[in-house]
Amino acid sequence: MFWTIHHLDSTESTNDLAAKAGESGVPEGAIFVADVQTRGRGRAGRSWYSAPGLGLYASLLLRPRVEPSVAPLFTLLAGVAVFEALRPMLPAEKHLDIKWPNDLLVGNKKVGGILCQTALEGARIKYVVVGIGINVHHLLFPEELQPVATSLALEAGGPWDCPRILDQIRPRFDFWYNGLLRGETETLLRRWSQCSTYTEGKQVTWMEGDRPVSGITRGLASSGALRVQREDGSVELVLSGDVWGRT
Ligand code: BTN
């Protein structure tokens, strides 16, 4: 992929910029990176803590020629690409994990997240935005995030360099993106499963409407959904949302 990086000092959300570019016909491969986001967005309508100069805040614009049913796999793809970029940069004793579908965890705390948006035009994908947020230089988080968030600096000292991290992510993203365009879904799912302890045998809780339900993970479906076995033995698919793991 020929990537073109657009760097901004500050923006509301790099995902919004990439989506605007997607609407206005900018070719795929544009990456929007900002030093600070004033309205960084997370999944499920949450905000993403995007303090100035502390994190990597980047959004990739793609125009994949695949069926819309493939869209959820971009989330898993991005998780694998970020995992593979970060793994060699972290000390071996640090446990890097992907929590389904795409939270990057170190020692059960969140170090990165991915927010994918797909825009359709009729029955085809017009564009996909893959937003990647990584906590890099943070030494202190706002109080409410402290129990759940961590950063590369907190886990492994420094120095860290955001452009370099993005440089490491791009080739891993290219590799898996090209595979997915060739229809190599199973290879991607297998790789995701190797990167995550959430694939098999993990006790998780998720919401069905406003009711929390629990089960044990039983691998990924080919759609990218998480297969979960309930206490009564029935297996169901969790298609989206959050799962909470117990270790
Ligand atoms: C999540 O885990 O909830 C997803 C977080 C995604 C954050 C990134 S930062 C760059 C891009 N721009 C946004 O507004 N969000 C994503």
Q: For residue 34, give the CATH number of its domain.
A: 3.30.930.10
Helix axes 162-181, 185-195, angle to 10 degrees: 140
Q: Burial letters for 181-219: b for 16+ Cβ neighbours within 10 Å, e otherwise?
A: eeeebeebbebbbebbbbbeebebebeeeeeeeebebbe
Kindly give the distance from the C-alpha atom of residue 66 to the centroid of ligand 1, in angstroms, as a whole number. 24
- Are residues 34 and 82 both part of a single domain? yes
In total, how many domains does the chain have? 2
Q: What pLDDT score does 247 carry?
A: 47
User: Which domain range does residue 218 map to?
Assistant: 200-246
Kindly give the distance from the C-alpha atom of residue 137 to the centroid of ligand 1, in angstroms, as a whole number. 16
Q: pLDDT tens digit string along 197-218?
A: 999 999 998 888 888 888 999 9
The ranges of the chain with pLDDT < 50 are 247
Q: pLDDT tens digit string along 22-55?
A: 999 999 999 999 999 999 999 888 999 999 999 9
- Are residues 209 and 233 both part of a single domain? yes
**Which residue's CA is minimally distant from atom 11 of ligand 1?**
131
**Which residue's CA is minimally distant from atom 16 of ligand 1?**
131
Q: What pLDDT score does 224 carry?
A: 93
Q: What pLDDT score does 142 carry?
A: 95
- Are residues 36 and 99 both part of a single domain? yes
Helix (H) or strand (E) holding 226: strand 226-229
- Are residues 116 and 213 both part of a single domain? no
